[in-house]
Amino acid sequence: MNCGDVNELAPLWHSGELDAARQRTFDAHIAECPDCAAEIREQWTGDARLREAIAAEPADTRELEHRVKRGIARERMRRWLVPGMAAAAVLAAVVLISRGAGHAPATPAVLSPVLADAARDHTVEVINQSPRRWKTEPADIAALETSQGISDNDVRALESTGYRLQRAKVCRLGGTPYMHLVYARAGREFSVYMKARGTSAAPETASTSGNLELASFARGRVQAVIVTDAPHGECAKFAQEAEAVL
């Protein structure tokens, strides 16, 4: 595969639609060609910045709110809802509108888009083991790291926690590309979503979603989100040890 082929197939590579054979030759090329790797990385970065810019635009929900309230009023008249039920419907509509506009969640249990995507991704791809095109060979993983601007030293440094890197792929959290790295030990698995640290790194957070524990932090050259269904406290311990080595 040459540089022209990579340029032509880049859209399919970004969307994960390449067949296995072309995926391997594509990854092998960008692992050896710094120009193509830089171009792929620039495409990822440009896409992420575009998504962040769009997401940062304030949403005008006045017309939507008006339509929702008007629909609730019509439904109330048609069905003669009792006042208590109507009030509950109005409150639910307002909460949905506020969330869509990017306002603070109604309760602390509501996860940010990035953490919510991470929890969902870990459940689908790690716990439920849905078929995905994981990379398991060191050279293939290194090619993905290069395309994402991530150092292999940072990825391997997390093995000092006692967990070993098993597989990797690229996914999106909140519309932004992340490396999805799976570390395992004694039957326990941690998903570490890692990306190159930007100018506006997310604050350190810890949260839960069902039986999952999540943590996020920015340290050194990377920003990371950690998700696991390991026993309580293991996520925080892993995060602390990971931060210490990055």
Looking at residue 135, the DSSP 8-state letter turns out to be B
Mean pLDDT, residues 183-203: 85
* Per-residue exposure over 218-227, b if at least 16 CB sit within 10 Å of its own CB, e if not: bbeebbbbbb
- Over the stretch 104-140, which tens digit does the pLDDT of each residue have? 333 344 678 888 889 999 998 899 888 788 999 999 9
- Specify whether the CB–CB gap between 165 and 142 falls below 8 A: no
Q: Where are the domains of the chain?
A: 62-100, 113-245
CA distances from 55 to 31, 46, 49 (A): 32, 14, 10
- Over the stretch 159-189, which tens digit does the pLDDT of each residue have? 999 999 999 999 988 888 999 999 999 889 9
Q: What is the CATH number of domain 113-245?
A: 3.30.200.100
Apex 41 CA angle, 158 and 26, nearest 5: 90
pLDDT of residue 56: 52
Mean pLDDT, residues 221-238: 93
Q: Is the pLDDT of residue 92 over 60?
A: no
pLDDT of residue 51: 60
Q: Is the pLDDT of residue 94 over 50?
A: no
Please state, in angstroms and rounded to a whole number, the distance separating the CA atoms of residues 202 and 194: 12
Residue written as tokens 């989100």? 225
- Over the stretch 9-54, which tens digit does the pLDDT of each residue have? 888 877 777 787 888 888 888 888 888 888 888 887 776 666 656 5
- Nearest in space to 229 (alpha carbons), one of 134, 109, 159, 129: 129
- Beta-carbon contacts of residue 21 (< 8 Å; ≥ 6 apart): none
